[in-house]
Amino acid sequence: MRAMSLPLLFAQLAALLATFVAGSAVAAETRIPDAALAAATQLRERALADDTGWKVVESLTTEVGPRLAGSEADARAVEWAKAKFKALGYDKVWTEPVTFPKWERRSEHAEVLGAHAQPLVLTALGGSPGGTVEAEVVRFASLDALKAAPEGSLKGKIAFVDYQMQRYRDGHDYRNGGGIRHAGPSEAIRKGAIAFLMRSAGTDTSRAPHTGVTSFDDGLTPIPSAALSTIDAAQLARLVALDPHTRVRVALDCGWDGEYTSQNVIGEITGRKHPEQVVLLGGHLDSWDPGTGAIDDAAGVGISMAAGALLKPLHPARTIRVVAYSNEERGLYGGKAYAEKHAGEIARHVIVSESDFGAGRIYSFNSSAPAPAKAAIAQIAGALAPLGIATVDGEGGPESDVGPIAELGATWASLGHDGTHYFDVHHTAEDTLDKIDTKDLAQNVAAYAVFAWLAAQAEGDFGSKPRAAEPAKH
């Protein structure tokens, strides 16, 4: 996941503002019929006892395994998703192309040189160029400390930002950890550094480093950029304290290699009464390469595929559309492609959601629905409450891949997972099937199924409408 990046936060605030301003245009109050609420109770219990979500996650992580966007496994994942939608009884299954530059990781090594020679475990950041560098390391406790370094002071050196992310239920310290990953390399280049190292953006104590995408500001020449495991970062910090002239060798073999066209894979349970109106669920199909992408994001794929499958026998009034997005990890390519292709159908996306924050128990529910739909949102919240889910004001937002369509005016709903341990294994080799609790996953499926069912049965809409053009942006 890449949620809670600053651009997305701004998008969310802008969307909230837009729906607030436009709110008065929504006519009658949206309501959910009593029969639908009664059916939701049964649906919830059925979902809690169902293992479809788990089986989907097991199948994707085992049979496809790691599936870096653009890799050979990307194509296998697309075939897998098509077959799985069909096996689950979805009424329509299709793909929509997503094109992006291909980045490959081939090998990565690092070692301390000299009197305390020893290997260091690291992983290249997605988007890093390859290269081999031997140089002195300069440690900074934070991104701000790196920013404060004098101009040119890192000439010929390796910048090392050694910030330890903290655990929170809503994962908000990823703003710091992920922020260093995004902005650190460019800051290092501006100070003259020839390579960039960071303590992994992770809350674990382990030798498994956390990868994740980075980028380089326009006009800068990219440098090899990598994350040390939290343990290796602590070791390097001790060694630099012992000897400020500690030298390290970083050897990355990775980089860009042309373009690749993958696919968003889409399955639908066709609506009985309003087939053209869509309740949008999903997760992303790609993963980083070190693990098998269980919590990020086979879980989201499994939760949304299973929720849709559970609704099929109920014949929902609106269409339940599940998207397995392509290449979320390197920049929301799937989410952007979906929004672009469906930009003319914003009002028909009655409410949009994605599960891309693991498989911890869902504890919060929120939505950008405007006033006339707030009562219906409260009805959904009421049906979710027995699952231990409460509306937490200010939490939530459109998860990664639905950010782009929410920006275009679609109303989002968010079901917030407990992310206390999400960043223990996020983007590491440890993101594997065993990290998912079957009962928690069933709770996730139940929550999404209940939400999607009630949104599909609601009489009246949730305020999705194309946003007014913003001339200032053109």
Using the rule CB under 8 A, is 73 a contact of a second copy?
yes
Closer residue to a second copy in complex, CB, 58/96 = 58
CA-CA distance, 165 to 366, in Å (whole number)?
Answer: 26
Minimum CB separation of residue 123 from a second copy in Å reads 13
Tokens of 246: 């500690």
Using the rule CB under 8 A, is 65 a contact of a second copy?
yes
**Could you say which of 400, 432, 443, 464 contacts a second copy (CB under 8 A)?**
432
Residue 229 and residue 209 in contact, taking contact as beta carbons nearer than 8 Å: yes
If DSSP codes are grouped into helix, strand and coil, which group holds residue 386? helix
Q: How many residues touch a second copy (CB under 8 A)?
A: 33
Only segment of 165-173, 228-236, 406-414, 460-468 that touches a second copy (CB under 8 A): 228-236
Secondary element (H or E) of residue 299: helix 299-311
> Which among 131, 114, 95 has a CA at the least distance from the CA of 226?
131
Minimum CB separation of residue 134 from a second copy in Å reads 17
Using the rule CB under 8 A, is 11 a contact of a second copy?
no
> Which among 159, 137, 140 has a CA at the least distance from the CA of 245?
137
Only segment of 114-122, 261-269, 319-327, 340-348 that touches a second copy (CB under 8 A): 114-122
Using the rule CB under 8 A, is 51 a contact of a second copy?
no
CA-CA distance, 165 to 157, in Å (whole number)?
Answer: 25
Closer residue to a second copy in complex, CB, 266/299 = 299
Tokens of 300: 């989201």
Q: Which amino acid is at 222?
A: P
Closer residue to a second copy in complex, CB, 34/72 = 72
> Residues with Cβ < 8 Å from 80, sequence gap 6 or more?
59, 60, 63, 64
Only segment of 11-19, 227-235, 246-254, 309-317 that touches a second copy (CB under 8 A): 227-235
**Could you say which of 121, 201, 278, 441 contacts a second copy (CB under 8 A)?**
121
Minimum CB separation of residue 430 from a second copy in Å reads 6
Minimum CB separation of residue 332 from a second copy in Å reads 25
Closer residue to a second copy in complex, CB, 24/118 = 118
Tokens of 5: 């990046």
**Across the beta sheet with 413-417, what order do the strands follow?**
390-391, 362-367, 413-417
Residue 374 dihedral angles phi and psi, to the nearest 5° = -65, -35
Q: Which residues in this chain contact a second copy in the complex, by CB under 8 A?
A: 58, 62-66, 72-73, 76, 112, 115-119, 121, 205-208, 231, 234-235, 238-239, 242, 291-292, 429-430, 432-434
